[in-house]
Amino acid sequence: MDAQSELFRKIQIYGFVIADTALYLDTHPMDPLALEYYDRIRELNKKAIAEYTARYGPITMDDVETKNYWTWIEKPWPWDMGV
Amino acid sequence: MWTYEKKLQYPVRIKNPNPAIAKVVITQYGGPDGELGASMRYLSQRYSMPFKQAIGVLNDIGTEELAHLCYHTS
């Protein structure tokens, strides 16, 4: 796996962990361990996304660098792999 | 990936219940020419577009149509 795919994989994993922890917190909103865990993964996720965005381009529209070109429409889209 | 915001695009205040208008609204929502159908058409037609500008705009309009499903239920 190249460096880009590896970093992206990390972000996918953090995303899954965040979504799953959020489901738990929906029904256990005062669990201190889960809150601390959510916070920790969220920070790791933020860092990984910042690093990925700086190196390879935006994952969300919010992260588009608007210097002189709208990079949002650049290929490949993640669901176009193998086409 | 799907995310949502705790924010309405346009808050609607219903003053009087009106079943006739409700029928129109629910058709605009999930009917053959409604928001749900529109979003699915944009998001599937993107795949046969030859240019990245068209792919991008269909993707973003389709996403916007999905967002309209949220504000109707508010």
* CA-only gyration radius of chain B, Å: 15
**Per-residue pLDDT tens for A49-59?**
999 999 999 99
Interface ipTM: 0.73
Is B48 an interface residue toward A (CB < 8 Å)?
A: no
The A-side interface with B (CB below 8 A) comprises 15, 61, 72-75, 77
- Over range B7-24, report the average pLDDT: 88
Write down the pTM of the prediction: 0.80
Tokens of A71: 């990079």
pLDDT over threshold 50, residue B54: yes
Domain range for A18: 3-80
Tell me how far apart the alpha carbons of residues B6 and A6 are, in angstroms, rounded to a whole number.
32
Chain B residues near residue A74 by CB distance under 8 angstroms: 52
- Tell me how crowded residue B65 is: count the other CB atoms within 10 A of its CB: 19
pLDDT over threshold 60, residue B74: no
Contact B52 A72 (CB under 8 A): no
Report the domain count for chain A. Answer: 1
**Per-residue pLDDT tens for A20-61?**
999 999 999 999 999 999 999 999 999 999 999 999 999 999
pLDDT class for B73, splitting at 50, 70, 90?
Answer: very low
A27-40: b or e for each residue (b if 16 or more CB lie within 10 Å)?
Answer: eeeeeeeeeebbee
Mean of the per-residue pLDDT values of chain B: 89
Given A15, A73, A77, which is nearest B53 (Cβ)? A73
Q: What is the pLDDT of residue A72?
A: 94
Size of interface A-B (CB pairs under 8 A): 12
Contact A73 B1 (CB under 8 A): no
